[in-house]
Amino acid sequence: MILPDASLGLDYMLSLMTGIIGDMVVYPDRMMQNLELTRGLVFSPRVMLLLIEEGLDRTDAYDAVQRNSMKSWEAQLGFSRVD
């Protein structure tokens, strides 16, 4: 009995999401402005994961990303421009 109930629940969730996404308006210029406000820091978790995938210890990767994120923010530089 769980499969029919799960199917009905999934159908309901998809209907709700279709209604939300169907009425969504995307403003690419505003999206870019929002990304620029963070100076690229929004991508720092991805950088940390890439460092871990390359073999860096999780704590060391976190420390490196945190340190460079703070440098970026304090110097008002883009995250990719920090040495």
Domain limits of the chain?
2-81
Report pLDDT for 82. 84
Look at residue 3 and tell me whether its pLDDT is greater than 90. no
Altogether, the residues listed in the chain come to a count of 83
> 2-81: which CATH number, 1.10.3470, 1.10.1330, 1.10.8, 1.10.40?
1.10.40
Q: Hey, what are 72's tokens?
A: 């970026």
pLDDT in tens, 52-68: 999 999 999 999 999 99
DSSP letters of 30-52?
Answer: HHHHHHHHTTTGGGHHHHHHHHH
Please tell me the distance from the alpha carbon of residue 29 to that of residue 2, in angstroms, as a whole number: 45
pTM: 0.64
